[in-house]
Chains A and B, each alone.
Chain A
Amino acid sequence: NAGVTQTPKFQVLKTGQSMTLQCAQDMNHEYMSWYRQDPGMGLRLIHYSVGAGITDQGEVPNGYNVSRSTTEDFPLRLLSAAPSQTSVYFCASSDMTGGYTFGSGTRLTVV
């Protein structure tokens, strides 16, 4: 039972490049979310989904896109990377009745 799997663990991008952060869960959870974590700012919600085909914006959605074509996968796309998107990104999932299970995170640096 893998839980929530995020790839890659580390990534360096140049300004303007695009990329997709992958997130997959094998717990059949309906809820999935993306957070970014910056020093002193806590965990800020980027986008979330309550089921396949349903997504919504969180607190800091600008510059990011998501889609949810299956229950298992919830990729996060950076359209045109900016230095302000340098952060640690966490994907998390939940069965709507309990707590969230977090992936191990992706440390992204944009230069």
Chain B
Amino acid sequence: QSVLTQPPSASGTPGQRVSISCSGGSSNIGRHTVNWYQHLPGTAPRLLIYSNNQRPSGVPDRFSGSKSGTSASLAISGLQSEDEADYFCAAWDDSLNGLWVFGGGTKLTVL
């Protein structure tokens, strides 16, 4: 499939570990690396993870990524209140002459 599927919502309490999934297909995640972003409405999305599991400088090691087959996951450990945001995944897709595809986003609530 040419879209990436994420759960619409996730939640956790401070200090907990939460995981957000991103399911794709053979034309995207199955062939290409996955990137993860954090987004607060009205602000610029922030790159959290690139190439499945790499953190850009400045991103805390509480954020980690993994990929297996046609699915990927973002994990956030030691949950903090400032982690409350939307998270979305992205990958290149080989359909339609090639294009970037995105997950629908997961709204993370810190209880």
**Bound pair: A and B?**
no
| B residues neighboring A (CB under 8 Å) | none
